[in-house]
Amino acid sequence: MAGTHFHSRTTGLNGRIFGNATMLEVLQQSAGDSAYSELGSYVAAALLNSAAGKTPFLRQSVIQKMWNDLLSTGSFTPTPGVRWGVTEVTRFLRSTMR
């Protein structure tokens, strides 16, 4: 996925926040001025970890939904009645990594 654009059909990640940046470029970025900058790095890493079977409890479709829901509605609902913003999703994804 290193040559794959972050926003593409392959990744299933909507938006244009990272323009034409690849997954690798988003992973290597330094913190930007957008709340989504740090989250983008964790989303890219989480997708790669899920594809490699390193996080069997976290499916790629859920990671895609987290990102896409945040972009479209400003929150992700992990369970009914619970809403996570960018900070909470970033914190969760960070907790899934070693």
pLDDT tier for residue 33 given thresholds of 50, 70 and 90 = low
Burial (Cβ within 10 Å: 0-12, 13-18, ≥19) of residue 74:
exposed
Stretch 3-18: mean pLDDT: 93
Could you tell me which of 73, 2, 70, 80 has the C-alpha nearest to residue 92? 70
Confidence of residue 43 (pLDDT cuts 50, 70, 90): very high
Judge whether residue 2 has pLDDT over 70: no
Distances (CA, A) of 52 to 11, 18, 64: 14, 23, 16
Question: What's the mean per-residue pLDDT of the chain?
Answer: 91
pTM as predicted: 0.90
Q: Residue 67, exposed/middle/buried by CB under 10 A (0-12, 13-18, 19+)?
A: buried
Greatest pairwise CA separation for the chain in angstroms: 38
